[in-house]
Homo-oligomer: A and B are copies of this chain.
Amino acid sequence: MSNTRIASYVEENAARFIDELKALVRIPSVSTLHEHKGDVRQAAEFLVAQLREQVGMNIVELVETAGQPLVYAEHLGAPGKPTILIYGHYDVQPADPVELWRTPPFEPTVEGEDLRGRGAVDDKGPMFATIKALETLMRVEGALPVNVKVLIEGEEESGGESIEAYVKAHPERLQADCVLVLDTGMVERGVPTISYGLRGIAYAEIVARGASQDLHSGVYGGIAPNPLQTLAWVLTDLKGRDSRVNLPGLYEMMQPLAPKEQAALARQSKLQERELMTSGGLSVLPGEEGFSVAERAAARPTFEVHGIRGGFTGEGAKTVIPAEATAKVSLRLVPGQKPETVLELLARRVRELASPGIALEVRPLHGGDGALLPLDSPVLKIAAAALEEEFGREVAFMREGGSIPVVALFDSVLHAPIVMLGFSLPDDNVHAPNEKFYLPNYYAAIRTVATFLKRL
């Protein structure tokens, strides 16, 4: 009955909910790029205004940090009822390559049932859905059914140091009976999904330095060290054609995967493979032999190159031997693999791989722990029931290949069950051009969160 009222409120306000989300997506809050510092702050202020004016929470703060501001809010008006901490992030990935977007990345555009724009689904859409769920409950019920704390960060895409410091400094303020996170994906469209595992991440730059300046290959070809060539050797040594990561100690650190879970992942694989190939425009999913796609995508460590800078990359020909070249790389990590330790292994190994005349350096950019959450908490069952009611299908439980470092921190500091409800689709182009949010999932997320909170 009151579910009907929730649904009606969402339906009546659907147009405004989209307009507000568009206003948020319009703010280019790219946390990794210094020139967007003002935009990042503006996005935080937008959320403060929403939580204060639209939801009407008792306490709403813009928390200054050494980096990007945090948004914190609380409304503890349900004595005797459980307390929930809702997490999300308002920062987004850079938009490049901008030329591949069909519409400008920060001009949110509705096309069919999708809202396209950088950050639409990662994580502005799902995060904002939790705020709209709170608003819905306030307006429909006149109050929130549980005690609510909200913590939204602006550095999820660039290290998350500030929220880490804040959580460690204020464990009592953030104390809760459960944590809700909307920043993960669905197995496929229409299949309600709860993620119980996240990979960790270790991100670094490998810098190769040769001559004191760029050289002409006519004069120096064959005699000068070439930093780009050395990077090619190093990247090949770190990961050969068999896709094994050659970082001594890396695989030894892994917590072994239980045979039961390995089998479950293998079964899940069939479903995922088709979807992943279609979404990525791929005809094969190559990688380590002897592991299913689902296992490789979520339960194995990886090494990926994200970009190589150095030399001439413009139109035409320039015969330069660059003085310096840099590769951006990251490893996704599974339980047992600590980012700091892995970054040390990487630095040590890369130093061993230097070639005559080239100095190699590993510059760590950021790291975050993975997480593996228990599947037997009562709140997870309530969340699953709310999801199943919304989608009319059984919930799929999956391990996510991506990383949300703060989840591991919540797990270790707050000791409360964490619920990760997925609303992004495999074809939503997360971190890629033409990122989008499937709008039916926006409304589904608002309704599901509202229902979940009512039932807690």
Contacts and interface: CB of A to CB of B under 8 A. Distances in A.
Contacts of A319: 93, 201, 203, 304, 306, 330, 431
A320 B431 contact: yes
Contact of A296 (B210, B222, B286, B401): B222
A315 B222 contact: no
A212 B280 contact: yes
A192 to B, nearest CB: 18
Chain A contact residues: over half helix, strand or loop, or mixed? loop
Interface residues of A, number: 102
Interface in A167-226: 185, 199, 201, 203, 210-226
Chain copies in complex: 2
A228 B234 CA distance: 13
A326 B308 CA distance: 10
Most buried by B among A201, A216, A222, A317: A222
Interface of A: 31-34, 93-94, 96-97, 100, 157-159, 185, 199, 201, 203, 210-226, 228-229, 231-233, 235-236, 239-241, 243, 276, 280-288, 293, 296-297, 300-302, 304-323, 325-328, 330, 332, 355-357, 365-366, 400-403, 426, 429-434
26 contacts: A32-B315, A32-B316, A33-B314, A96-B312, A157-B318, A201-B218, A211-B282, A212-B282, A216-B402, A217-B330, A218-B403, A219-B276, A220-B280, A221-B401, A222-B301, A224-B282, A228-B305, A232-B233, A233-B240, A236-B236, A241-B355, A306-B317, A306-B318, A306-B322, A307-B318, A319-B330
